[in-house]
Amino acid sequence: MDHQLATPKELLTSSTSYLLHLRDTLALVPDATYTRISTALPGSTIGKHVRHVLDHFMLLLASSGRVNYSLRERNEDTQSSVASGQAAILRTVERIRSVLEDGCSVNVESPVCIEDTLPGGNDRAFVSTLGRELWFCTHHMIHHNAVIACLMFEFGLQPPKEFAYAPSTIKRSQ
């Protein structure tokens, strides 16, 4: 199968559309539910999952070519209320737009060094690109959206029909 490289516009559209879908889904969640601790996933809240995915995006977008997702700053205000989560999502969308919109000088094929600790404690580096990492952050968000959907069900809420489905899953089901 022959695939073309994703364009900055496609990455922009993909990441921001999923972020905005998350923001819209949060409108269905009362504040008390946003911060409610799950019994199925002890310690987990909808707000913590929102904060977690946004921390990944913001770390990547603030990087100067070196990223260690394990060392991200945890913006706990994001997990404290639906309004703060939605505001953080909009800030993330604006940051992505500022990096990827037409006329920007950022190349999605720019190399990015990913640093992390492997099992056994060895610190290692991996070579990636800005575009690949933005797609990682988007796909990582989809995975956490699935957890958010499960938490919504646990708390008696109904997530939107296609919330938390990867594009390939949606394509395959059509």
What span, in angstroms and rounded, lies between the C-alpha atoms of 163 and 159?
A: 7
- The one-digit pLDDT tens for each residue of the chain (174 residues) are 578 888 888 899 999 999 999 999 999 999 999 999 999 999 999 999 999 999 999 999 998 889 999 888 888 999 999 999 999 999 999 999 988 876 566 788 989 999 999 999 999 999 999 999 999 999 999 999 999 999 999 999 999 988 988 888 887 888
Please tell me the distance from the alpha carbon of residue 114 to that of residue 123, in angstroms, as a whole number: 11
Q: Which domains does the chain have, with CATH numbers?
A: 8-173 (1.20.120.450)
Contact residues for 100 (Cβ-Cβ < 8 A; gap 6+): 8, 9, 11, 12, 106, 108, 134
82 neighbors 31 (Cβ within 8 angstroms): yes
Tell me the CA distances in angstroms from 125 to 3, 70, 114, one per residue in order: 27, 13, 5
pTM for the structure as a whole: 0.92
